[in-house]
C-alpha cells in the first residue's frame, strides 16, 4: 500500500514567520511576552509556548496595569482599531500579520477610498475577516457562501470590489462571484486566496481523488484545516479529520492501495511525520 504525504502540508510561510517570531522573543530572554489570541490554531504549540511563559490575551483590556512587555500580533492580523489600541498601550508591538493578509487590508482601504463598496468572501466571525472589514471606510459586506450570495441584496448601481479570506475554498469563491455577477452586481474581483492555500487545496484534492483513505491533520478550530477536510471528503468517502495521532482510529478497507495525508497550515511537521510513520508501520 502506498502512503502519499502532500508536499504542501503543514505550516505555511505566514504561520512559520509568526511562530518563529514568538520563539525568537523567548530566546532573546524577553519577559512578559503576549500573543494577541493563540499564535496558531494548534493546542500543542500553544501549550509549549505557555510553558515557556508566553501568555495569550484576547482583548487589549487584558493588558491593563501592564507597563512592560511585548505583544505579538498573529498571522491573520487584527482590526485597525485593535492595532491602534495596542500601539497606545506603550508596550512593544511586533506585528506578525502575514504579508498576504496585509495586502488585503491595503486593497480594501484603497478601494473603499476610491468610493467602491467592498464584499469580503469569508467567514464573518473569523478574526482575519474582522480585520479585513475594519479597513473599509465605506460600505462593506461579508458573504460567507454561495448560498448567501443567492440571498445577497444591496445597491445594484454601486461598484463593488470583491476580496476573499486568504483561506477560502477556491471553488466556492468562484461559485460565489459567479452568482454575484449573474445577479447583475458590478464587481471587480481580486482573488486574495493565498498561494499556500491554493497549492495546499489543489494538491489535497488531487491526492484525495486517487486515495482509498485520506487523513487530514489540523486543529479543530482551524478554518483552513476544516476547509481542507471538506475538499478531501468530497473526493474520498473515507476521509479522517484528526488533530494528533491519538485521534486516529484508522480502518483501512481490504484492497486499499493508497492512503493520502495532508495537513492544515497550523500543523507542525513532527505531527505529520508521526502520523505518516504510524500508517507506514501499522498497515
Ligand atoms: Fe499567510 Fe497564506 Fe499562511 S495568508 S498565514 S501564507 S495561509
Q: How confident is the model at residue 130 (pLDDT cuts 50, 70, 90)?
A: very high
Q: How confident is the model at residue 43 (pLDDT cuts 50, 70, 90)?
A: confident
- What 3-state DSSP class applies to 275? helix
Structure confidence at residue 35 (pLDDT): 97
The pTM of the full predicted model, rounded to 2 decimals, is 0.82
On the question of pLDDT at 197 being above 90, the answer is: no
With a CB cutoff of 8 Å and minimum separation 6, the contacts of 83 are: 73, 95
- Give the angle 265-166-239 at the CA atoms, nearest 5°: 45
Please report, for residues 28, 122, 210, 235, the alpha-carbon distance to residue 43 in angstroms, rounded to integers and kept in the order given.
Answer: 23, 24, 31, 28
- Asked if 149 and 185 count as a contact pair (C-beta separation under 8 A), the reply is no
Sign of CA dihedral 34, 39, 43, 44: negative
Ligand 1 contact via 275 beta carbon (within 6 Å)? no
pLDDT digits (tens, 9 = 90+) for 142-187: 999 999 999 999 999 999 999 999 989 889 999 999 999 999 999 9
What's the rounded Cα separation, in Å, for the pair 177 and 7?
A: 29
Q: How far is the CA of 210 from the centre of ligand 1 (A)?
A: 27
Length of the chain: 283
Q: How far is the CA of 227 from the centre of ligand 1 (A)?
A: 14
Structure confidence at residue 248 (pLDDT): 96
- Asked if 262 and 9 count as a contact pair (C-beta separation under 8 A), the reply is yes
pLDDT digits (tens, 9 = 90+) for 230-249: 999 999 999 999 999 999 99
What's the rounded Cα separation, in Å, for the pair 281 and 50?
A: 33
Structure confidence at residue 280 (pLDDT): 94
The catalytic residue positions are 128
Ligand 1 atom with the shortest distance to the CA of 101: 4
pLDDT digits (tens, 9 = 90+) for 60-94: 999 999 999 999 999 999 999 999 999 999 999 99
% of the chain beyond a pLDDT of 90: 87
- Asked if 105 and 77 count as a contact pair (C-beta separation under 8 A), the reply is yes
Q: What number is the average pLDDT over the span 132-142?
A: 98
Ligand 1 contact via 98 beta carbon (within 6 Å)? yes
Ligand 1 contact via 166 beta carbon (within 6 Å)? yes
Amino acid at each position: 500500500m502506498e502512503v502519499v504525504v502532500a508536499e504542501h502540508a503543514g505550516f505555511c510561510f505566514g504561520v512559520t514567520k509568526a511562530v518563529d517570531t514568538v520563539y525568537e522573543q523567548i530566546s532573546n530572554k524577553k519577559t512578559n511576552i503576549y500573543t494577541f489570541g493563540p499564535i496558531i490554531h494548534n493546542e500543542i504549540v500553544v501549550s509549549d509556548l505557555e510553558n515557556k511563559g508566553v501568555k495569550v490575551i484576547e482583548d487589549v483590556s487584558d493588558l491593563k496595569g501592564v507597563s512592560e512587555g511585548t505583544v505579538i500580533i498573529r498571522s491573520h492580523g487584527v482590526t485597525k482599531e485593535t492595532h491602534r489600541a495596542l500601539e497606545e498601550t506603550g508596550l512593544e508591538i511586533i506585528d506578525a500579520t502575514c504579508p498576504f493578509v496585509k495586502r488585503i487590508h491595503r486593497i480594501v482601504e484603497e478601494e473603499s477610498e476610491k468610493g467602491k463598496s467592498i464584499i469580503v468572501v469569508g467567514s464573518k466571525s473569523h478574526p482575519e475577516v474582522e480585520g479585513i472589514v475594519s479597513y473599509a471606510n465605506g460600505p462593506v459586506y461579508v458573504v460567507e457562501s454561495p448560498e448567501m450570495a443567492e440571498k445577497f441584496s444591496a445597491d445594484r448601481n454601486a461598484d463593488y470590489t470583491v476580496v476573499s479570506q486568504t483561506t477560502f475554498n477556491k471553488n466556492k469563491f468562484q461559485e460565489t462571484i459567479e452568482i454575484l455577477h449573474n445577479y447583475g452586481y458590478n464587481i471587480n474581483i481580486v482573488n486574495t486566496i493565498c498561494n499556500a492555500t491554493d497549492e495546499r487545496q489543489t494538491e489535497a484534492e488531487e491526492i484525495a481523488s486517487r486515495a482509498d483513505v485520506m487523513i487530514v491533520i489540523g486543529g479543530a478550530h482551524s478554518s483552513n484545516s476544516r476547509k481542507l477536510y471538506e475538499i478531501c471528503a468530497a473526493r474520498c468517502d473515507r476521509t479522517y479529520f484528526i488533530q494528533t495521532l491519538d485521534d486516529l482510529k484508522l480502518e483501512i478497507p481490504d484492497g486499499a492501495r493508497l492512503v493520502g495525508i495532508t495537513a492544515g497550515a497550523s500543523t507542525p511537521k513532527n505531527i505529520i511525520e508521526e502520523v505518516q510513520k504510524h500508517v507506514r508501520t501499522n498497515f
